[in-house]
Amino acid sequence: MISKTQKETIKKFFQAIDKVLHSPGDLCDLGLIISDKIKINDLIDLTPYPERVEVFNLSEKNSPDEFLNKLVECFKNKKWSLVELKDGYFPSTIYNPLRILSIQNRLQISDLTGKQEAIDLRIPEESRIIFLIDQENLSKINNTDFIKLFGPVIKI
């Protein structure tokens, strides 16, 4: 159960991610919430646009292509993505496109399964990506640059 104070903190976090754009080119931040108590579905109604939220659980059970396809669809439909990271799973095939996204506001993918053409898609100003991870899974991620993907990071 999320306390009232935690809900307010998370709402402010989402509002900041929604409103803050950086130059050059109005760069959007990726957000990260670290929590052992919060569940991904608890976050939907705390976003500024709960009707425009897609949820994805990223784990070893999912392929990187499945996740990247979901991001493409979210961007095309101008939705927010809430992504729960599980199993310490964060392969380079996901890290690399997110790194480009975090510095250029572009999702660039050249070898997505089932797609003949390369994808070069700018994140719409209505879309954001927020990741949720617990402390245990964060410690399992084998990429020292993982945390650098994110602008705002909060621990609840």
Question: For residue 46, which of 16, 14, 17, 74 has the smallest C-alpha distance?
Answer: 14
Asked if 46 and 18 touch (Cβ cutoff 8 Å), the reply is: no
CA dihedral angle for residue 64, residue 51, residue 103, residue 14, rounded to 10 degrees? -120
Helix runs in 2-148, H state only = 4-19, 40-43, 64-76, 92-104, 135-140
Query: 25 lies in which domain range?
Result: 4-155
Q: How many domains does the chain have?
A: 1
Amino acid 82: pLDDT: 97
Give the tens place of pLDDT for each residue, 60-69. Answer: 898 888 899 8
CATH code, domain with 53: 3.40.50.300
Token readout for 80 is 């927010």
Position 138 scores a pLDDT of 94
Residue 153 to residue 20: CA distance in whole angstroms = 14
- Band (pLDDT 50/70/90 cuts) for residue 20 is confident
Query: What does pTM read for this prediction?
Result: 0.90
pLDDT tens figures, 68-103:
989 999 999 999 999 999 988 898 889 988 998 888
The whole-number average pLDDT for the span 118-125 is: 79
Decide: helix, strand or coil at residue 36.
coil
Q: How many CA atoms lie within 13 A of 55 on its CB side?
A: 13
**Proportion of the chain above pLDDT 90, given as a percent:** 56
